[in-house]
Structure 1
């Protein structure tokens, strides 16, 4: 199976947005995994697609779609696809997508169900565009146009999320409410509604993501476990299996980190 992976040459206009372009084709289907990531994933396909993603209920999805912050990997079957993948920070995802992240969490939703015919028009324009540079610019413009300030997350929720990200999942969640001046119940409720996860689950997801990036880059599991706040190496292994559905040795070789060129497995 052949992969073409493109990255934007400039940072997207909106903070909290990351993009990559994919063209994948081969002689037969490949089985991959959409591994949980601390972002809402949007896939806008624009070619002759032949792929599907299976959700937790066993239902298959194809075409342009949105995947909320998930707790486990979603199996993906790919024969061929051309698409732009967008990862949205959950603090801006609702403002762009217009759907509740609490309802989206762990689920797969067709992009047409959220954007209607605008999805079809975007797909057609991406298909007609000749370069990845132009495609990224088109998607960037589309996202900026759909941003609604009245749907932005509360500043307190944004601050809490950014503390979790900045600490790489090592921030003690019991301190979050006191730092923003809210009760624990209020913060947990607003955070869950606007981010789609509890603060505790968000910490675990961010910590796992950081640890996996280091493992893919060749750091030893023992060192990663010690540096990332895991109780021990077996604790790290349990988290990797829970989030990916595979042991560490398999997870580090799968091409699911493509949006981050620093973590893309060199063997792929």
Structure 2
């Protein structure tokens, strides 16, 4: 494990030594003695939090709502900046799923999450309890990753696939870092705009325009964390100007670009998610390139 220190945050972080059996799956392990009001920053993936051990993370949400235990959260969860995570002696495996494979792994469409969060027990029933017990019964983090990966691979194998056209459109957005022209996506796959927008939303959990904004924001905000100036980030990431970047960051996080640049949730990514900067980390096999003009 590596120790992540940022401001008052001190976390132990573990990474798998091997990639997942399923393309589009990345994971990291965390051991945190004192998790204090961590702002959850939206990310263009479905997030699974598999907790185990003596502690238990708590998500504080809007209007005083709370969520405890293992959870699944849709793409863009935390938008608006009104979700905080806290807890003592937290141990968990965090999984990021490309929305393209999330429907198969979850057993439900990410659209059912609607950018929100649900208990993993509500989705998986006893299987959620079993994986919690299994993760707690083994000590090496690599064994925990192997257990998690085997579960995800088994569920993915048995689950439904998304339409190739929908997967291609998602990969186009990811590969362009949110600079793809959404009005051209339907024409490129040979579908009507209405058909693509409907299938994309129902299978991936968010409409194409929202996906573009979220992917662009994710790229930009990590540039801010790396120390790049807001004006340069705005120009490189495709924003109209610096005020446009400011509005997007505020909408997604409830904070200014300068504040978000210091968030531990983002700063830990270079350790926990070393493949984060590569588009393939949110893709799955067999859909790259053109799908032709299918109808």
TM-score (norm 1): 0.93
Cα distance per residue 1:238-258 (max 9 Å; x no partner):
111111111112211111133
Aligned partner of 1:16 among 15, 21, 24: 24
Match for residue 128 of structure 2? 119
Cα distance per residue 1:46-105 (max 9 Å; x no partner):
112243113445420010001111333322223331000000000000011011211212
Match for residue 94 of structure 1? 103
In the alignment, structure 1 residue 199 sits paired with structure 2 residue 208: yes
Whole-angstrom distance in 2 between the partners of 1:3 and 1:59: 26
Counterpart contact for 2:107–2:159, Cα < 8 Å = no
In the alignment, structure 1 residue 84 sits paired with structure 2 residue 90: no
Whole-angstrom distance in 2 between the partners of 1:262 and 1:50: 20
Counterpart contact for 1:19–1:87, Cα < 8 Å = yes
Aligned partner of 1:144 among 139, 153, 166: 153
Question: Where do residues 1-268 of structure 1 align in structure 2 (5 Å cutoff)?
Answer: 2-26=10-34, 30-56=36-62, 58-70=64-76, 71-73=79-81, 74-148=83-157, 151-257=160-266, 258-261=268-271
Runs of 4+ more than 4 Å apart: none
Whole-angstrom distance in 1 between the partners of 2:114 and 2:237: 25
Q: Which consecutive residues of structure 2, in runs of 5 or more, have no partner in the other structure? A: 1-8, 275-295
Counterpart contact for 2:103–2:159, Cα < 8 Å = no
Whole-angstrom distance in 2 between the partners of 1:113 and 1:149: 19
SS at match of 1:36: coil
Counterpart contact for 1:18–1:259, Cα < 8 Å = no
Computed over aligned residues only, the root mean square deviation of the Cα atoms, in angstroms, reads 1.7
TM-score (norm 2): 0.85
Whole-angstrom distance in 2 between the partners of 1:228 and 1:262: 24
> Quick one: higher RCO (CA 8 Å, sep 6+), 1 or 2?
2
Whole-angstrom distance in 2 between the partners of 1:150 and 1:30: 37
Deviation at 1:260, TM superposition (A): 4.3
- Matched pairs, number: 262
